[in-house]
Amino acid sequence: MNHPSTILLVDDHAANRHTLIELLDNPDYRLVEAADGPEALKLAAQLQPDLILLDVMMPEMDGFEVCRRLRESPRLAEVPVIMVTALDDRQSRIMGIGCGADDFISKPFDRAELRTRVKTITRLNSYGRLLRERAKVDEANQKVREQAALIDLATDAIVVLELDGRVQSWNPGAEKIFGTPAPEAHGRPLAALISKGDSSQMVSAIGDTLLLGEWRGDLPAIRPNGDSVTTHSHWTLLRHADGSARGILAVSTDQTEFKKLQAQFYRAQRMESLGALAGGIAHDLNNVLAPVLMAAEMLQADPPAEMQKEMAKVIQVSAERGAGLVRQILAFARGSDGQERMELAPQHLVRDAVGMAKETFPKAMTILSDLAADLFVIRADPTQIHQVLLNLMVNARDAMNGVGRLTVAAENRVLDGAFAAQKPGAKAGPHVVLRVTDTGSGMTPEVLAKIWNPFFTTKPPGKGTGIGLATVANIVKEHGGFVEVTSKPGAGTTFAIYLPATGGTATTAEATAPVQLPLGRGERVLVVDDEAALGQMIQALLAEHNYTATVADGPAAALSAFTRGEKFSLALVDLNMPVMDGGRLAKVMRNINPALSVILVTGSQEVMREQSKTSQFAAVVAKPFTAETLLVAMDKVLHG
């Protein structure tokens, strides 16, 4: 196991072989190329490789025939074969299994997935060779025990299951990854050990393994100490000598750190998208601020009462528009770790993305949305789906040079088995289809064949890194969906994103009547904010609603008012202030008067989420806020 594993790469396209060489560049591998089936059989006989990556679609002799001939050779029958294909349908997989293939991987290649599968199979092949060298054992249980003894040093979790999902063998790698010692794991259902009893995914995995001979996918786990772990698992059906099923071999690789790195990559790509929109964002913020400044100047001239109301309305609308844009940008930039899946109404995602495009794309573009009625609900990460839409819309903008028509549409689609079988990664059932269509320059077949390759781009230097569409492909695949692309030079491009849906629809909430602003009961409120203008505005607002407010322009003034005997029912404390932040000030004041209620006022969404989890503050209000938001929060704190 100390010498490099020999991997034979078989593909009639030199570019595909070159891509595999780049992705598998590792001193642990010796990579050898073959351009067709006959050459592959010749090299395999000479080299006795540890693994063969075999393309399905080749002239003269396709991959199925090559695999069949390998299995007919006594010397090559045990060589692991991974079929490389764009046809990830069930029929092709069954044909491959019938020919003796050990695994499948689809184009375009996912770097981490390819490396994980190759690493797992070469390891298992090495372990298998050691087993054959040591002994030939007929009894199945004896084989399993010897194999387990040889793989105790493996860092992967290698588990043998009974057909009902109970643990038969549990190696040290499984102890480390899943956190349960082997003696405690033996005989217990795997679901009880890693999923706290939730057996739904286990039932599905066991069913697929029994039906197709294998199952693979991400397997989230929870250790006994509560830590979350994400693994990529490959389950293989074990058989007796007569061909009957006897158990399941489950090999799981810890991908927790990889998922964290992937989340960082997605965030970096979102920041690239925001960079592409920076000019439009700056332009739109200037458009927001211009009427505010003009209205403020006009109000200083003391115009008639009706005009004052109009000017106030202009200021309010502009401020709300600016605040909404800032919130949207911050939410998109912050994103999530990819695990925040929830049930979503896709029409809201489309409207948000289209709204952001209308605010930031060139005004010469026409941006439309076309939403079908009663769209199915999807279970997805909202930030990542928003990222998919924005990536495609930015590409469409660039393809049209800022002039043309961009349409984002959404519709329901129920896929039947025949259609799903033709699409890599597709499953039959209800889906929502999101379409992004532009009237741009379109793509040639040569360009279309490369668009999913990471870092491939047709944009000039400095205009794009080529990771946008690769990100789209990864996100959609992780959500169990797939992408269709249609494009012709001069006729524009359409990307169709198919996402699995629940089959149910979101109910539309009825519009509610305007909320009557609650009044105080004469309570004294301490307002602490180093922004004098905001403090004065809050003081005036509270006075109109039956509160008595004392304004302090910082922590020192606040403590002075607080310690000279004034009795306050509530304190509104800004977070970011010089010398002492709002959190520390709140602790000092509560040490003096534990009964004091404190509402934190902050413009940081991250702080808002964290502080809301503590009991230090009675409530947290995000800037910018409306009068209604503040008064309702105060009323809940003071009056329940």
Q: Please give the pLDDT value at position 468.
A: 65
Residue 620 has pLDDT above 70, yes or no: yes
Query: What is the arithmetic mean of pLDDT over 162-171?
Result: 89
Identify the DSSP state of 166: B
Mean pLDDT along residues 314-322: 69
pLDDT of residue 512: 39
Q: Residue 38 has what pLDDT?
A: 93
Do residues 216 and 232 touch, judged by C-beta distance below 8 A?
Answer: yes
Pairwise CA distance, residues 476 & 480, whole Å:
7
DSSP at 341: -
Res 588 pLDDT > 90: no
* Lowest mean per-residue pLDDT among 53-62, 87-96, 97-106: 87-96
The DSSP secondary structure of 255-280, one letter per residue, reads -HHHHHHHHHHHHHHHHHHHHHHHHH
Q: Quickly state the pLDDT bin for 377 (edges 50, 70, 90).
A: very high
- Residue 537's pLDDT is what? 81
Instruction: Say which residue, 315 or 57, is predicted with more confidence.
Output: 57
Of the pLDDT bands very low, low, confident and very high (cuts 50, 70, 90), residue 460 is low
pLDDT for the residue 509: 36
Task: Select the CATH number that applies to the domain covering 138-254 from these four: 3.30.450.20, 3.40.50.720, 3.40.640.10, 2.30.29.30.
Answer: 3.30.450.20
CA pair distance 450, 444, nearest whole angstrom = 10
> Exposure pattern of 118-134 as b/e (b: 16+ CB <10 Å)?
bbbbbbbbbbeeebeee
C-alpha–C-alpha distance, residues 544 and 333, integer Å:
38
Which pLDDT band holds residue 327 (cuts at 50, 70, 90)? low
Structure tokens at 398: 């660039």
What's the rounded mean pLDDT across residues 612-634? 79
In one-letter notation, the amino acid at residue 394 is: V
In sequence order, the β-bridge partners of residue 436 are 408, 495
Q: What pLDDT is stored for residue 508 in this prediction?
A: 42
Q: CATH 3.30.450.20 in the chain, residues? A: 138-254
Q: Give yes or no for a contact between 426 and 387, defined as CB atoms under 8 angstroms apart.
A: no
Query: What residue ranges of the chain are covered by domains with CATH 3.40.50.2300?
Result: 1-134, 524-639
- List, in sequence order, every residue forming a beta bridge with 413; answer none if it has no partner: 431
Q: If DSSP codes are grouped into helix, strand and coil, which group holds residue 534?
A: helix
List, edge to edge, every strand of the sheet that includes 81-85: 29-34, 5-10, 51-55, 81-85, 103-106
Look at residue 560 and tell me whether its pLDDT is greater than 90: no
User: Would the pLDDT of 17 be above 70?
Assistant: yes
Distance, CA of 392 to CA of 470 (rounded, Å): 11
Sign of CA dihedral 525, 526, 530, 536: positive
| Separation between Cα atoms, residue 415 and residue 421, nearest integer Å | 10
State the fold for domain 524-639. Rossmann fold (3.40.50)
> Tell me: the pLDDT tens digits for 94-126?
777 788 888 888 877 788 888 888 888 888 777
Dihedral pair phi/psi, residue 443, rounded to 5°? -130, 145
As a whole number, mean pLDDT of residues 44-69 equals 90
DSSP 80-109: -EEEEES--SHHHHHHHHHHT--EEEESSP
Structure-token match 């990100």, residue found = 471
DSSP states of 469-494: HHHHHHHHHHTT-EEEEEE-TTS-EE
Residue 167 token pair: 């643990």
Q: Supply the pTM of this predicted model.
A: 0.41
Cis peptide before 108 (omega within 30 of 0): yes
d(CA 54, CA 34): 9
Range 1-134: architecture per CATH: 3-Layer(aba) Sandwich (3.40)
Let me know: does 369 contact 409? Beta carbons within 8 Å: yes
Flag the least confident range among 363-367, 511-515, 582-586: 511-515
Average pLDDT, the chain: 79
As given in the structure block, the two tokens for residue 558 are 């606040």
Coarse DSSP helix, strand, coil percentages of the chain, rounded to the nearest 5 percent: 45, 25, 30
More confident residue, 46 or 125: 46
260-505 classified as CATH 3.40.50.1100? no
600 has a pLDDT exceeding 80: yes
What mean pLDDT do residues 574-602 have?
86
Start-to-end Cα distance in the chain: 69
Say how far apart CA 404 and CA 268 lie, in whole Å: 29
Phi, psi values for residue 3, rounded to 5° = -90, 155
pLDDT tens track for 257-288: 776 666 666 666 556 555 555 555 554 566 56
**Residue (of 81, 80, 35) closest to 58 by Cα position:** 35
Written as one string, the DSSP assignment of 49-83 is -SEEEEES--SSS-HHHHHHHHHHSTTTTTS-EEE
Q: 185, 193 in Cβ contact below 8 A?
A: yes
pLDDT, mean of residues 629-635: 90
Could you read off the pLDDT of 145-166 as tens digits, one per residue? 565 556 555 678 888 999 888 9
The confidence score (pLDDT) of residue 308 equals 77
The alpha carbon of residue 527 and the mean position of all alpha carbons in its chain are separated, in whole angstroms, by 41
- 139 band by pLDDT with thresholds 50, 70 and 90: low
- pLDDT > 70 fraction of the chain, expressed in percent and rounded: 78
233: nearest Cα among 204, 197, 274, 261: 204
- Four-residue CA torsion sign, 385, 388, 391, 392: negative
